[in-house]
Amino acid sequence: MTKRFLNLLTALVMAVSLAGVLPAVTATAETSGDYEYTVLDDGTVEITGYTGSVTELEIPSEIDGKAVTSIGEYAFIGCISLTSITIPESVISIGDRAFKGCESITSITIPNSVTSIGGRAFSDTPWFENQQNENPFVVINGMLIDGTTCNGDVSIPDGVTTIVDSAFESCHSLTSVTIPNSVTSIGDSAFSYCDSLTSVTIGNSVTSIGDHAFRSCSSLTSVTIENSVTSIGYEAFSGTPWLKNKQKENPLVVVNGILIDGTTCNGELSIPDGVTTIGECAFIGCSSLTSVTIPNSVTSIGYRAFGSTSLTSIIIPNSVTSIGDSAFSYCNSLTSVTIPNSVTTIGECAFIGCSSLTSITIPESVISIGDSAFRSCSSLTSVTIPNSVTSIGYEAFIYCDRLTEINVDANNKNYSSQDGVLFNKSKTELILYPMCKRQATYTIPKSVISIGDDAFEGCTSLTSITIPESVTSIGDFAFNGCNLKSITIPNSVTSIGYYAFYNCGLTSITVPKSVTYIGEYAIGYDFDWDIENRVKTKNYKIYCYEGTAGEQYAIENDIKYELLDGSKTPNNPNNNQSNKPNNNSTKPNQPTSSKDKGKTPTNKVTVPKPAQVKSVKATAKKKKLNVKWKKVSGATGYEVMYAKNNKFKGRKTVKVKKNKVTIKRLKSKKKYFVKVRAYKKANGDINYGKWSKTVKVKVK
């Protein structure tokens, strides 16, 4: 099996997942007394956890001098000691399942300040059951949070302004619903799986219908939607007879100018004038759709609108200002796209996997190019970035294996290019070396301080790279999948990223003393057919210095190593001097006896590794990720890693002291992969346990 074939296999597998740079956690979790919290962007506090055991609790209006404005998802879940809760008037939002399973709570005081309540926030509590017994409509501050005990034909009471997420979900005895004019929004999955529901009348004040709002209502045949509705979410009516009947009447289902479905269309299609929005997933998977004419009335193309269709070309009119995330993802027959000067944003993964796309012209109007926007466009040969672009997302042009050059307009204020290689404006960061540049050797400019994530990934033509002394950091996956014969890491480098030299053809590497951090699988690893399994490269050797990150990495990963000061090592007892580089450096912290040679110096405290984290659970909703796991005895804290792909490219990490965390500001409708490890500190040193098994979850 050739290395080139394996690299292509890796590219194919990884292209399936929509990878990208992840947003930062809003804040690292902090603690104050029995509360765990994060500081939000506006300087206020969200409570994310509670460890107390009192029965009657008044939640404080301030923590550490900051106003408490939010009770996060799962914050008090399963707090069985609590019998009553008083929420302060500073709080404006309560997250999904915030008090779920608090099986002793009979009293909850909720102030008028609360304007947002998440789905199932109080489910499985006596208080909530009492509310249901008093009235099948549980309404708090104008928000209808539950109607699952309703039967037959119901009219939602006037005065309700919001039907929250999952309010009627799986209410099997509900047959019809009339929504009053006071309601302005219907939440995600609000009526999903109500399989006896036959008709819905939506009032004339509703402006938005959430994702999956009526999904799988298998008896729903009649829906009345007023002109006030301007937003209809992803798969809002999927799996309903109403939608199927609409498709029979016209393969283009349009509601108030929103084209919500065209999946039964064939051949060449002209979207009628008057359509303003091509909705989320409107044509997704429509394999017989070959051509579409979009009218000038359309202003936006939604998430995955044409994903995985058979389009061969597309002309986007001047009226369109944004191309949504994954809008044309995996349109494998798409050879040309005309993007007008009106477009300012090319969304995340907008053209990912368009393998027949040979050229693309990015107009001067475009300000941002999203993460993975043109990833795996394997026929794309060159790209020109205009001066208007201020943001190029993570992996925007990766795995374009015929790409030979990226050229940036000289007047661009954020980016530059040199010999077809993409840099930041000052050329202190090398962002991307095109995958198909046909050079065997490359010398990185001396201005470069940082080699970016994925910078040379998959560049199989490269056999030698010269890294200048100016470079201090080598990013994640920087040389993954290259075909290097040798590489010299200069003494200026302090950090080597995750998978940096993974599967790059090397059989040995010298790690200088300056390196203080080496990411997982950075050195000495290859992959096998399972992709998930990492295997050590046979006969690989690390040359390093005693007591440094290089030696620690070699020991922890059980990789052969040789010290550069003449010491014998446990896995090189003969100390074969002929195989190691010339180096006259003196050895620091000389071991006192021969049995100590090649080991950590005796004056260094060895911190025991904590046990492995087990039973990791993750749930996600509303761009938030909630992760919980069993506590590890003796652990100082935990590190949580998350990414949008199972190889954790573009990963982010957060450290917490408790055994749970809420991560915010994620991408909706994306899959995330999560793993956790414990760590232990002692005498200024830190030691990490093994990572847990990876958990996959999709953000709704």
Alpha carbon distance 653, 25 (integer Å): 8
Q: Hey, what's the torsion of the CAs at 140, 142, 144, 150, to 10 degrees?
A: 90
Domain positions in the chain are 21-134, 138-249, 439-603, 617-698
Cβ–Cβ < 8 Å for 368, 391: yes
- DSSP H helical segments within 520-613, as ranges? 549-556
Strand partners, 32: 35
Q: Which pLDDT score, from 0 to 100, does residue 601 have?
A: 41
pLDDT above 70 as % of the chain? 88
Q: Which residues contact 358 (CB under 8 A, 6 or more apart)?
A: 335, 336, 379, 380, 381
Identify the CA nearest to 415 among candidates 453, 407, 564: 407
Cβ–Cβ < 8 Å for 158, 138: no
Residue 293 or residue 580, greater confidence: 293
Alpha carbon distance 197, 362 (integer Å): 47
Chain CA centroid to CA 88, Å? 33
Alpha carbon distance 19, 375 (integer Å): 9
CATH superfamily of 617-698: Immunoglobulins (2.60.40.10)
Any idea which residue has 């993007």 for tokens? 339
pLDDT digits (tens, 9 = 90+) for 381-438: 999 999 999 999 989 999 999 999 999 999 999 999 999 999 999 999 999 999 999 8
Common-topology check for domains 138-249 and 617-698: no
pLDDT digits (tens, 9 = 90+) for 30-47: 888 899 888 888 899 999
Asked whether residue 585 carries a pLDDT value surpassing 60, the answer given is: no
Q: Is the dihedral of CA 512, 515, 517, 520 positive or negative?
A: negative
pLDDT digits (tens, 9 = 90+) for 282-304: 999 998 899 999 999 999 999 99
Alpha carbon distance 498, 522 (integer Å): 5
Identify the CA nearest to 598 among candidates 607, 609, 590: 590
Asked whether residue 50 carries a pLDDT value surpassing 80, the answer given is: yes
* Helix or strand run (H / E) with residue 109: strand 107-109
Alpha carbon distance 77, 628 (integer Å): 11
Q: Which pLDDT score, from 0 to 100, does residue 435 have?
A: 93
Strands of 516-616 (E only): list them.
Answer: 517-518, 525-527, 534-536, 541-544, 560-563
pLDDT digits (tens, 9 = 90+) for 233-245: 989 999 999 999 9
Identify the CA nearest to 109 among candidates 152, 57, 52, 170: 57
Residue 469 burial (10 A CB sphere; 0-12, 13-18, 19+): exposed
* CATH topology (fold) of 439-603: 3.80.10
What is the CATH code for 21-134? 3.80.10.10
Q: Hey, what's the torsion of the CAs at 576, 578, 584, 586, to 10 degrees?
A: 0
Identify the CA nearest to 205 among candidates 273, 170, 158: 158
As assigned by CATH, the class of the 138-249 domain is: alpha beta
Q: Which pLDDT score, from 0 to 100, does residue 603 have?
A: 44
Alpha carbon distance 372, 344 (integer Å): 17
Identify the CA nearest to 360 among candidates 351, 372, 368: 351
When pLDDT is cut at 50, 70 and 90, the band that residue 533 belongs to is: low
